[in-house]
Amino acid sequence: MLEHPLAFLPFEVLMAGLLFLCFRHALPFGAPALCKLSAGVVFGILLEWATIEQLDAYHYGTQYFFMVDTVPIAIGVGWGVILYSAMYLSDHTNLNPWLRPVADALLALNIDLAMDAIAIRAGMWNWGEGLEHDYFGVPFENFWAWFWVIFCFSLSYRVCYRLTIKYHVALAPIFAIPLGVIGVLITNRVIVSYVPETYTLAVIVSVLSAALALVLYNKPRLLPSKIEPLAAWVPLSFHAAFLLLGISTGVIFEHLTLVLVSLAMALTALYLHRAILFKD
């Protein structure tokens, strides 16, 4: 699979830019926000390394400038900024705190449904199954993994933050990293080893559909409090970047469905964040 040079450096620059924006946003909130952001990045790098070691299901392209072993640092930063922005948004909703990790995971899935099929066609990573396998070359299990990656970290952080009380600023991010990684590795093993292949797609669709139904049933809405545009700029930047990558390289036009899905997910993100972007 060809590695398109337009994919790598711009992606690393974008991730550095989003990390800076998240850092600048976190700074006024002090140590809790800064530690959460840092923990998300470390978690992202560690979970990628652990997943590659556990499953050996994919590998990254060779043109990334900054790597930790087999994992591009930009990928870990991507996980970190997605976690930070999604948790920031859900914390400003009327959702029950125990339901917010589910919402965080669904917000992240909105990004990946548009991103992954374009990224593999640009050679950013390779699942080794060909471009027609499952979801345009992306194994269905990937979307299961994305859901649990965000859910496990978000839940672990929130639980630890509540339980550690006096020392939550330091202990919540420290505990959330290993607990989140362990949760991801367990859910990976469940879908790979204990769900028969013929039922894999049905299980994934059922779990994700149930999660979506649960969130919608609770009628999520933003609370009447000030929420910064960062919550919108992170997901919309991912959508814009991969739409531009797909168009500039032409890979998005390999399937009309790729165009439709990318536009649909971008419009969905725009709709979900409309109150933030177009507030009075």
Task: Report the percent of the chain where pLDDT is more than 90.
Answer: 81
Q: Which helix (H) or strand (E) holds 60?
A: strand 59-60
Reported as a single tens digit per residue, the pLDDT across 36-49 is 999 999 999 999 99
pLDDT for 163: 82
Dist. CA 46–CA 44, nearest whole Å: 6
The range of the structural domain enclosing residue 214 comes to 5-277
Check residue 55 and give its pLDDT: 84
What are residue 71's phi and psi, to 5 degrees?
-115, 125
Q: What is the pLDDT of residues 139-170, one digit of tens each?
A: 999 999 999 999 999 999 999 988 876 676 77
Distance between CA 108 and CA 100 in Å, rounded? 12
Token couple for 271: 């709709």
DSSP three-state, residue 209: helix
DSSP 8-state symbol, 72: E
Is residue 150 helix, strand or coil?
Answer: helix
Structural domains of the chain, count: 1
What is the token pair recorded at 95?
A: 């959702």
Predicted pLDDT of residue 277: 86
pLDDT band at 72 (very low <50, low <70, confident <90, very high): very high
Q: What is the mean pLDDT of residues 170-193?
A: 92
**Where do the H-state alpha helices sit in 129-228?**
141-163, 168-189, 200-217
Q: Which of 15-24, 73-82, 224-233 has the least mean pLDDT?
A: 224-233
Q: Residue holding tokens 């556990």?
A: 54
pTM passes above 0.85: yes
- Cβ-count burial 215-235 (b if 16+ within 10 Å, e if not): beeeebebeeeebeebbbbbb
